[in-house]
Amino acid sequence: MRAAVALIGIGAVGLVVEGALASFVPALLLPDLALSFAMAAALFLPGAAALFSLAGVGFASDLLAGAPLGLHVLSLLVPFAIARIANGSLELRRGVPEAVLAAILSPVQAAGFILLLGLYGAPPEMGFWPGFAIVVRTVANAALAPPVCALVEALAAATGELDPTRRGVAWVGSAAWPALRRHG
């Protein structure tokens, strides 16, 4: 869990710095740090520690963005699951695959976010601006993903918590089945 705690600390510092920069740079040009950290945690940390990191960075992101507490966490769960499952069978721990994965997860998270905002009662009107924002942010997220992943990998290696790679796809049902069968 040490890596997860350190990751939350680094993520929070990153979000604070990003918040200061947002006074001078348009928000849509800034990458979504929470997504990058959640994806990196899914790729490099053991399951529980990765989820803990997601929760910490997600809630910090909500607090600094003025979003309803829990919105970022909820929107990050699906990208997290995709990254986790994909990492089970694909070799994603390299710069280009990490960037590609971030580029895929970015619009997925944005779509989830828009859906949640709609359920929350403040749906954005879909048009040029939200679409443009999603495209620009996708590029920014893809660019940021490799350095964040390298950082998280170094952190996990330093604390001895690096998750073994390519575990093989383990669905909920398949994971539970052998144990259920043994118990009759």
- Measured between alpha carbons, how far is 177 from 171 in angstroms, rounded to an integer? 10
Nearer to another protein, 76 or 95 (CB): 76
Interface region with another protein, contact rule CB under 8 A, candidates 53-61, 100-108, 143-151, 155-163? 53-61
* In 121-171, alpha helices (H): 128-158
The pair of structure tokens assigned to 111 is 């779509």
- Measured between alpha carbons, how far is 71 from 79 in angstroms, rounded to an integer? 14
Q: Which of 6, 18, 57, 99 binds another protein (CB under 8 A)?
A: 18
- Measured between alpha carbons, how far is 73 from 63 in angstroms, rounded to an integer? 11
115-174 binders of another protein (CB under 8 A): 116-117, 120-125, 129-130, 133, 137, 172
- Measured between alpha carbons, how far is 184 from 175 in angstroms, rounded to an integer? 16
For residues 62 to 91, the per-residue mask of contacts with another protein, x marking binding by CB under 8 A and - elsewhere, is -xxxxxxxxx-xx--x---x----------
The residue among 105, 84, 66 whose CA lies nearest residue 164 is 84
Residues that bind another protein (CB under 8 A): 12-13, 15-24, 27-28, 30, 32-33, 47-48, 51, 54-55, 58-61, 63-71, 73-74, 77, 81, 113-114, 116-117, 120-125, 129-130, 133, 137, 172, 175-176, 179-180, 182-183
